[in-house]
């Protein structure tokens, strides 16, 4: 192939993908959590839930994707991951919130159990849960 042909193919491919014609573009990001609700005291042998609140995104192109959790018997480090999709069509104008998205935490637990939520700005939101 000539250099001109390669440049043309590259330009067309980049142009098409930039317009979303090859499918939507997806970008993951860390959701900033405002608060975590749920029990502050739990039995040692039963799973419990914590409910996360915060802004996911400014329109329907944003969505909650998953909880990334690293566990030990004394703590859980949680990162709440969102996804922004662009180039796949129109998005609603509705603001998207976590609205109490539930995370189930299963035993084993040791007292005290620390829930650490990693924030987009690098900070931590920490909650202590007593284990009875």
Residues 103, 95, 101: CA angle, nearest 5 degrees: 10
Contact between 69 and 77 (Cβ < 8 Å): yes
pLDDT for residue 81: 98
Q: What is the dihedral of CA 51, 57, 63, 64, to 10 degrees?
A: -30
First to last CA, the chain: 71
Least confident of 21-35, 53-67, 96-110: 21-35
Asked if residue 15 belongs to a domain, the reply is no
Residue 24 pLDDT class (50, 70, 90 cuts):
confident
Whether pLDDT at 7 is above 70: no
pTM for the whole thing? Answer: 0.80
Structural domain range at position 37: 23-131
φ/ψ bin of 23: left (φ > 0), alpha (ψ from -120 to 50), beta (otherwise): left
Report how many domains make up the chain. 1
pLDDT mean over 13-40: 77
Asked if residue 57 belongs to a domain, the reply is yes
Asked if residue 13 belongs to a domain, the reply is no
Token pair recorded at residue 1? 């192939």
Report H helices in 2-124: 3-18
| Residues paired with residue 25 on neighbouring β-strands, in sequence order | 86
Least confident of 40-49, 76-85, 86-95: 86-95
Asked if residue 10 belongs to a domain, the reply is no
Asked if residue 41 belongs to a domain, the reply is yes
Give the Cα separation of 16 and 3 in Å (integer): 20
């Amino acid at each position: 192939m000539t250099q001109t042909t390669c440049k043309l193919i590259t330009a067309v491919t980049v142009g098409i993908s930039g317009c979303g014609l090859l499918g939507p573009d997806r970008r993951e990001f860390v959701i900033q959590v405002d608060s975590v609700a749920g029990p502050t005291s739990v039995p040692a042998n039963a799973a419990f839930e914590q409910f996360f609140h915060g802004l996911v995104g400014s329109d329907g192109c944003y969505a909650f994707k998953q909880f990334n959790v690293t566990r030990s018997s004394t703590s859980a480090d949680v990162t709440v991951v969102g996804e922004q999709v662009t180039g796949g069509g129109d998005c609603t104008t509705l603001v998207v919130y976590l609205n109490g998205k539930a995370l189930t935490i299963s035993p084993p637990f040791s007292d005290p159990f620390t829930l650490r939520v990693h924030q987009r700005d690098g900070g931590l939101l920490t909650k202590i849960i007593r284990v009875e």
